[in-house]
Amino acid sequence: MPQLFEHYQTNVAPKLSSEFGVKNPMASPKVTKITLNMGIGEIKENKDEQEKSVTELASIAGQRPSIRKSRKSIAGFNVREGQPVGVAVTLRGKRMYTFLDKLLNVVLPRLRDFRGVSRKSFDQQGNYTLGFSEHTVFPEIDLGKITRTKGLEITISINTKDPQKSERLLEELGMPFEKKKM
């Protein structure tokens, strides 16, 4: 199993269970899935660029993504129903923890002028969403082969319905949040 999962089982889960008064170990806060989403926008007509986006996201995630199609037409964006609009992949289990470990220990520390991720990116269900304006921050991407940079959205789904519990879980896992202002 990945090192981060072992750290979660041995240190984080018991600590959070006692902190939140959870008696059932299955009810302790845990990450359930990670979803990576990349919009393909202006390259929706170009099949080669679509395949390149799929290959790039597959190298980042370690799993082949699917091409997502529009559910309805939107004239203002020149999008027709059934037209490809994005590439997405959902990670669970070992791949999820491997990706999360890489995100926390390799990708985020490499960012220039990085002061921590925002604490305001939790939704009401306790899920955390993190966005990158360029997908080239991942070490798997070869900068010599990139024709255009694309944005990447990462959503970390957590089984708690409370943003405070989710924030504590991510803090214990090593998420570098920005410092709280006094």
Q: Are 22 and 150 in contact (CB under 8 A)?
A: no
Query: Per-residue confidence at 68, pLDDT binned at 50, 70, 90?
Result: confident
Side-chain-side CA neighbours of residue 68 (13 Å): 16
Q: What mean pLDDT comes out for the span 83-111? A: 91
Domain boundaries along the sequence of the chain: 3-173
CB 82 within 8 A of CB 95: no
Q: Specify which residues 84 forms β-bridges with.
A: 69
Query: Mean pLDDT for the chain?
Result: 88
pLDDT single digits (tens) 163-181: 999 999 999 999 998 887 6
Q: Give the other-Cβ count within 10 Å of 165's Cβ.
A: 19
CA distances to 36, 49, 79, 96, 133 from 42, in Å: 19, 10, 10, 29, 16
151: left (phi over 0), alpha (psi -120 to 50) or beta: beta
Domain 3-173 annotated CATH 3.90.1150.10: no
Is the overall model pTM greater than 0.75, yes or no? yes
- Give tens-digit pLDDT for 116-166: 888 898 999 989 999 998 888 888 888 888 888 888 999 999 998 889 999
Nearest to 89 by CA among 15, 36, 142: 36
